[in-house]
Structure 1
Amino acid sequence: MSQHAAIPLLTPLLPDREALAPYLAKLDQNRHYSNFGPLNNALEARLAGMFEEHGAYPLHVTTTSSATLGLELALSSLDLPAGSKVIVPALTFVASLTAIIRAGYIPVIADIDAQSWLLTPEIATEAAIQTGARAVLAVAAFGQPQDTRHWSDFQRKSGIHVVIDAAGAFGSQWVEAPDIPVVYSMHATKSLAAGEGGLVVSGNSVINAHIRQLSNFGINLDSNAGFPVGHLSFVGSNAKLSEYHAAVAHASLDQWDAQARLRQDIYRAYRQALEDACGDLLQWQAGITLAAPTIFCLRMAAEARDRLETICRQRQIATRRWYQPLLHQHAAKVAPIIKQPTPVAEAVASGLIGLPFSPFLTGEDIARVTKAASLATASLTLTHQA
């Protein structure tokens, strides 16, 4: 049995009481705790300004009580016929799948790119030809951003609607095309942490206003809408962000730049240590250096992954097979779905492993994980050299 302390997979870092104090004081002063309160509205404006610094268009932000509900409402706002088919990558968190189903649509499980591990417009085009899909839920898997301009071109040429699930990509995924709504998470494990919450960003004020209304059950609050105020005009949900969560989000934003730099520094040192120990026996997701990494995932040979999991269990190092099982491999009751061929997703998943990562990870922790990975790949190294 290892004498070392356990290394957890993820350790959330949220603002402490001192950082929260000024926002909680405002909350007490306002006596407004939900229903689009002043802290929430200020948060939306603050985030819109942040996104506009990285785009060429005015952008709109609508908060939700979770990213999952943000996805569901963004998909519902497309107002597609019930049972419409929506393309989604096989390698993603289950919330992408459940949001499609709960919006009344049918998921079409599609493959991913072998290098980026993302669904691409090219893959979506083929899946749409095969299935007649009316929309795409593209995912910024592991925080790696999608190209909104590329997806905007796809949407314009194909007539197929696009929503991007960027739950874990705050700070890396920007909204550079005004017609593509992008959904982010403020869960406790994300880089912009409010404990729980989500936000939808787009350049279309009509989309955001619709999502805002859907988050308030679908009740009309606009006296100019041609429909009586207070009447239910859509079937929505209760997905409003509370003022308490907005307070935490404000405090997180105050600290975000410093925390992002810390996460980058840890990630770089971690990856370098593993590359030095294991070389090209590890495959990394292709793409940009993330602004604020929140998880640490890589691919290795399936047998090496199995050995690494065993070694880590013995040494009290947590691991996870991120986004597995793949979407089409869940229970039969998670239906209906349509599955396209997914050979790349299945190959990537066969050796994918998530290792511990958090702002609290130490150099000693990295050394312990690196040693475990070196042992797991030792026999592969010999084979590779031979």
Structure 2
Amino acid sequence: MSVRTAIPLLTPLLPDRDSLAPYLDQLDRNRHYSNFGPLNTALEQRLSGLFEAHSNHPIHVTTTSSATLGLELVLSSLDLPPGSKVIVPALTFVASLTTIIRAGYIPVIADIDPDSWLLTPAIAAEAATQSGAKAVLAVAAFGQPQDTLGWSEFQRQSGLNVVIDAAGAFGSQWVEAPDIPVVYSMHATKSLAAGEGGMVVSGNATVNNTVRQLSNFGINLDANAGFPVGHLSFVGSNAKLSEYHAAVAHASLDQWDAQARLRQRIYHDYREALVQACGADLQWQAGIQLAAPTIFCVRMATDARDRLEKICQQRQIATRRWYQPLLHQHAAKVAPIIKQPTPIAEAVANGLIGLPFSTFISRQDITDVVEAVSLATVNIAPINQLK
């Protein structure tokens, strides 16, 4: 019989049945369960308005069954020659890698910034010079947003297409540049949760229309497209968001502001407690205060992390080495890939640890985690800051 983890790493929060009821009632009345139904259409409109409040241009939102498929379809919509090289940071979730390969391209694994832990335009420019890449998949790692305006300027100067994987950055990552598509996740562990789902957000209607068509196998539904309706225009996939998932997303969006404030407060108190207890023994990702944190990561000296994992295992505190192994360290069958030098990503990963975090974590849980981290850092030299 398995023993329940005393302090779990993540505990998803999705709307309860009472919150879902109005949307499920609509679904029952509509008798429309998938294929761009009315709940999905209304969800895209709600989200478009939300993003337009943070941009100076029209916004288009296309939902997908997952962020992973959303990324794959956006990359496919670039219509690059097969085997084109696409730059991606070493420190990110594996979906950033697999979507490039499944779109028919070759990932170029690049390094990250020592402070933000993100791929930047400057790093991408160097990687492109070395590799001859045609595109960049930048990542809002740990929810820390990318600079879309900066990437837009990079795209203009370099001629490389840029896509942003902002799977965990809803509410923090906006779409200020109309020519940079951004993909978000609505997985159960994200702040806007549909159980499963994703969305492609951009200022370019052509990008979103292509993604929508690709999400429906590539079937043409436009009588004015100059191509017969019902015929395949592209080789797509079945990546449509169901009406059931759209219902959950609506209810989640209704509660999002309150949940975001709660996540901010918990994260702030948690981090302050660790800073007071451990100070220079910890390095934090540089950037803005996130609107709705979902992951709690910190970097420690490697020896301290190893000790912490043992302490936490003994005390039934869950931890995770987020985004490890690095993308180039996976099985040989995950190919083809091209690796650039990644000394900073490797140094960050050697001490990176994910600690328990959710809207259900208690003050006592936080106290217990802080105590474990404090014990792990005793008599170990502070982490070397990367510069």
The TM tier, using the shorter chain, reads over 0.9
Corresponding residue for 2:23? Answer: 23
Corresponding residue for 2:128? Answer: 128
Q: Secondary structure at the match of 1:227?
A: coil
Q: Within 2, Cα distance between the matches of 1:71 and 1:289?
A: 26
Q: Secondary structure at the match of 2:136?
A: strand
Q: Within 1, Cα distance between the matches of 2:152 and 2:383?
A: 46
Q: Within 2, Cα distance between the matches of 1:57 and 1:357?
A: 35
Corresponding residue for 1:360? Answer: 360
Q: Within 2, Cα distance between the matches of 1:246 and 1:383?
A: 44
> Matched residue pairs, number?
382
Q: Secondary structure at the match of 1:335?
A: coil
Corresponding residue for 1:373? Answer: 373
Over 3 Å counting, the alpha-carbon distance change for 1:383 and 1:262 in structure 2 is closer
Q: Within 2, Cα distance between the matches of 1:336 and 1:207?
A: 27
Cα pair 1:67 1:185 within 8 Å, conserved: yes
Structure 2's unaligned 5+ residue stretches are none
Deviations 1:167-204 (A, max 9, x none): 00000000000000000000000000000000000000
Q: Within 2, Cα distance between the matches of 1:322 and 1:120?
A: 20
Q: Secondary structure at the match of 1:379?
A: coil
CA apart distance, 1:35: 0.1
Cα pair 2:73 2:103 within 8 Å, conserved: yes
Q: TM-score, normalised by structure 2?
A: 0.97
Deviations 1:8-30 (A, max 9, x none): 00000000000000000000000
CA apart distance, 1:280: 1.0
Q: Within 2, Cα distance between the matches of 1:276 and 1:287?
A: 20
Cα pair 2:5 2:318 within 8 Å, conserved: no
Any residues of structure 2 matched to 1:211-290 within 5 Å, and which? 211-290=211-290
CA apart distance, 1:383: 11
Cα pair 2:280 2:383 within 8 Å, conserved: no
Corresponding residue for 2:66? Answer: 66
Q: Within 1, Cα distance between the matches of 2:383 and 2:32?
A: 65
Corresponding residue for 1:323? Answer: 323
Any residues of structure 2 matched to 1:23-102 within 5 Å, and which? 23-102=23-102
Structure 1's unaligned 5+ residue stretches are none
Q: Secondary structure at the match of 1:366?
A: helix
Cα pair 1:141 1:166 within 8 Å, conserved: yes
CA apart distance, 1:380: 2.1
Corresponding residue for 2:181? Answer: 181
Percent of aligned positions that are identical: 81
Cα pair 1:59 1:204 within 8 Å, conserved: yes
Cα pair 1:67 1:183 within 8 Å, conserved: yes
Q: Within 2, Cα distance between the matches of 1:374 and 1:287?
A: 24
Which letter maps to 1:161?
N
Q: Within 2, Cα distance between the matches of 1:253 and 1:232?
A: 34
Cα pair 1:88 1:97 within 8 Å, conserved: yes
Deviations 1:52-98 (A, max 9, x none): 00000000000000000000000000000000000000000000000
Q: Within 2, Cα distance between the matches of 1:376 and 1:353?
A: 12
Q: Within 2, Cα distance between the matches of 1:55 and 1:383?
A: 39
CA apart distance, 1:382: 9.3
Cα pair 1:4 1:315 within 8 Å, conserved: no
